[in-house]
Structure 1
Amino acid sequence: MTIGWRSVLLGLAAVSLTACDLFPPAPDDVPAPEARPNELVLPEPKPAEVSDYSRMLEQRYARLQQDLLVQGLMRTNGGGIEAPFDADDLVRNFVQIALFDEYSAQSGRLRAQQTESSLRRWEQPVRMSVKFGASVGADRRVTDRNYIRAYGSRLSRLTGVPITYSHDDANFHVLILNHDDLRASAPLLRSIMPGVEETSIDYAVNLPRDQLCLVIGTFGPDGVRYRRAVAIIRAEHPDLMRQSCVHEELAQGMGLANDSPRARPSIFNDDEEYAYLTTHDELLLKILYDDRLSVGMTADQATPIVRQIANELLGGSS
């Protein structure tokens, strides 16, 4: 059967959670590892003992990826002729994905509730860093770092936002962590996301077993201009699932925070049909960063402008 996993955007932002229950819980009687913040930021890996639970997750995620591929899911073709869309589709999907939140925080807890939000995006250059947990080997680090850099360059071309790389002055962190590293990551998250709500830290450290990846965003006083973001990718993932998480989390961290079951062809959909950012999704990013739109716009304010941009992008189709 099809399994939903979609990502999370936390910290004064939208949250998209999964309801599936894929894996057995981590043993309650095993305490969280002692915090090891230095091991999470070292440029070269140190030998690290991996827990049985982390090894189990690695096996399960490999089987999950294989099951999805057997079903013809996790496509990498960008959409193709089998998934046509027009300007009306693009407008509807943009409004749902960029201008609504899927979850809201109530009484310190996350609650599933579709809520209209405002247009949010980066109004400053993005300085990205990639950090690894102690379990990630040297070869894997090189591969992941190069892949993320290439994808960041693609996002920069689509949005017009300068995306560079900085180890010491980053405002968008990508963390590749296994279960053990994640359980010990609270000090690191607090240090790179000063002022982030503890509910977000707690959710990330105790990431549900069926949640494959997430992104945490914080904003300026107006609540619509991105200040910082942290994407967390599980190190246990096989290659395609790992890359798929990179595609979705970094794009969501640019401002496409919600999911929509009607969006197709798209990674912003819980059906796992596509693994990589599609042509449709590229257009959503172009719309989001079009100068005719402004941060803070509501759906009613933005929709007429979005429709004009969508028609232009698709050559006047409607």
Structure 2
Amino acid sequence: MLLHRTTLFLFAAALAGCAADLPGGTTARAASELLSPPLIAGFDPGPVGPPPRRAASNAEIARDFLELAFSLESGRRLPVLTRFEEPITLALAGAVPPGAGEEVAGLLARLRGEAGIAIWQEQRGAAAITVEFLPRHDMQALVPNAACFVVPGVSGWQDYRALRGSSATDWTLLATRSRVSVFLPSDVAPQEMRDCLHEEVAQALGPLNDLYRLTDSVFNDDNFQAVLTRTDMLLLRVYYAPELASGMTEAEVAARLPALLARLNPAGGRAAAPAPQIPTPRSFQTAIDAALAGGASTEGRRSAARNAVSIATAAGWNDARAGFAWFALGRLSAASDPAAAREALLMAAAIYRRLPGAAIQYAHVEMQLAVLALAARQPEDALALADRALGPAIAAENPALAATLHLIRAEAFAARGQMAAAAAARLDSARWAGYGFGSQAAADRRAAEVAALAQGASRLR
């Protein structure tokens, strides 16, 4: 069994106005040419996001941990906990793009400092985790729709090709983790490479599942969170706590979690107990998958999104699952029915506004509402929405979203006759565009799309 970021990632990137939905891809060289010091300086080097689940109890975190650690995304159960039991080494291989070394160093430093994991980069020889870069086309020739993925029991691409489909690559048969490979595209924008790196290395180390109900975690197939959050670091710290070990059953881990979380997250012991959680049925997952399916008809995808909304509504959900269903429906309705799209997005906004840790989700919704306002010749509304979304976009380290928001601001200023402000906003967009979009051509295409909105287009392509 292997885990991968499927076309869900690409669709979420398109929803956010990211480069992943732009045709043709970009070269690592073009991406590096646009990466500027002001961009790096714009990020806070500290922990990402709010403190872990301020509104959550340790009982809720324990419940989520068990579901993440003992199930695969396919629904298959894992019989025991597995992790690395020795200090972990990580090595880069393949066509390593410019900037990847710095991204890896920063990630490993965070894992050591925030998750307490003994992990270091190996410059030569075999490593516990091999991160290999290769062209996306080569990856998808074997694993269609995969943006990036992680596989146990192999050391690199050739090893994976030889052992693919064998028991060696089956997560459910592992007793402990000794070697794992992460496969990342070498020919995408720096932001997409970084996002893949964070999620796949985290899965190589710990949880193998994704939960749509989580707001403040990369372990969620909606892919709103781009980099590992504080909640993710807490989950990984629990994974590698001395109280746990490979080979423990779910019952054994569950018995140790209360005391473990009381030690690692004492504030969670004072929070209210969680409400009973309604499991996510496969029908919802199927509906979301169909709504996000690349190559399917827009009407078919919109129908699937309506089905997801119906499932969420019938179940009485008011969490991130319902928010994402409404968000997908709003995005898919923008071209054919802007009024219905706006209503769906407002439903998503109402849900995300109430959820702890959902600032970036709310920002994505506001970007889509700003798009509709710009297309409807309402520049004041577009500007207000984009301005509100900028802070969360930057805090969540999402340059592509920040660049798109600045482009919306530029067109809104221009529609109001404020040409100097419009020019300044375009310069602000350029500050983030290199990292987010990967090339000048990709950034120019996004700028042209946003400019078309001001002329009455109903959506970003």
With normalisation by structure 1, the TM-score equals 0.61
1:92 aligns with 2:48: no
1:226 aligned counterpart, secondary structure? coil
Residue deviations 1:13-38 (CA, integer Å, cap 9, x gap) = xx366465969xxxxxxxxxxxxxxx
Counterpart amino acid of 1:78?
V
1:283 aligns with 2:254: no
2: CA distance, partners of 1:82 / 1:154 = 15
Task: Work out whether residues 107 and 198 of structure 2, in 8 Å CA contact, stay in contact via their aligned partners in 1.
Answer: yes
Task: Work out whether residues 78 and 265 of structure 1, in 8 Å CA contact, stay in contact via their aligned partners in 2.
Answer: no
Q: Please report how far the alpha carbon of residue 115 of structure 1 lies from its aligned counterpart in structure 2 after TM superposition.
A: 1.6
Q: Which position in structure 2 is the counterpart of 1:155?
A: 111
Q: Please report how far the alpha carbon of residue 178 of structure 1 lies from its aligned counterpart in structure 2 after TM superposition.
A: 1.4
Q: Please report how far the alpha carbon of residue 234 of structure 1 lies from its aligned counterpart in structure 2 after TM superposition.
A: 1.2
Q: 1:78 aligned to 48, 51, 76, which one?
A: 48
Q: Which position in structure 2 is the counterpart of 1:102?
A: 73
Q: Which position in structure 2 is the counterpart of 1:6?
A: none
Aligned counterparts, 1:225-240, within 5 A: 225-240=176-191
Residue deviations 1:3-22 (CA, integer Å, cap 9, x gap) = xxxxxx62xxxx36646596
Change (3 A) 1:168 1:260: same
Aligned counterparts, 1:158-307, within 5 A: 158-180=115-137, 182=138, 206-209=142-145, 211-218=146-153, 223-307=174-258
1:317 aligns with 2:270: yes
Residue deviations 1:49-85 (CA, integer Å, cap 9, x gap) = xxxxx972449xx9xxxxxxxxxxxxx9833279643
Task: Work out whether residues 129 and 167 of structure 1, in 8 Å CA contact, stay in contact via their aligned partners in 2.
Answer: yes
Task: Tell me how many residue pairs correspond in the alignment.
Answer: 224
Change (3 A) 1:173 1:285: same
Counterpart amino acid of 1:214?
F
2: CA distance, partners of 1:21 / 1:244 = 10
Task: Work out whether residues 78 and 274 of structure 1, in 8 Å CA contact, stay in contact via their aligned partners in 2.
Answer: no
2: CA distance, partners of 1:237 / 1:310 = 38
1:227 aligned counterpart, secondary structure? coil
Identity %: 24
1: CA distance, partners of 2:47 / 2:191 = 13
1:132 aligns with 2:132: no
1:102 aligned counterpart, secondary structure? coil
**Greater RCO structure (CA 8 Å; 6+ sep):** 1
Q: Which position in structure 2 is the counterpart of 1:145?
A: 101
2: CA distance, partners of 1:175 / 1:255 = 19
1: CA distance, partners of 2:110 / 2:51 = 23
Q: Please report how far the alpha carbon of residue 304 of structure 1 lies from its aligned counterpart in structure 2 after TM superposition.
A: 2.3
Change (3 A) 1:126 1:239: same
Which of the pair has more CA radius of gyration?
A: 2
Residue deviations 1:250-301 (CA, integer Å, cap 9, x gap) = 1110122111122231000012221111111111011111111121112111
1:215 aligned counterpart, secondary structure? strand
Counterpart amino acid of 1:166?
Q
With normalisation by structure 2, the TM-score equals 0.43
2: CA distance, partners of 1:21 / 1:231 = 16
Task: Work out whether residues 83 and 264 of structure 1, in 8 Å CA contact, stay in contact via their aligned partners in 2.
Answer: no
Q: Please report how far the alpha carbon of residue 226 of structure 1 lies from its aligned counterpart in structure 2 after TM superposition.
A: 1.0
2: CA distance, partners of 1:21 / 1:290 = 31
1: CA distance, partners of 2:240 / 2:177 = 13
Aligned counterparts, 1:35-54, within 5 A: none
Greater fraction of residues in helix:
2
Counterpart amino acid of 2:220?
N
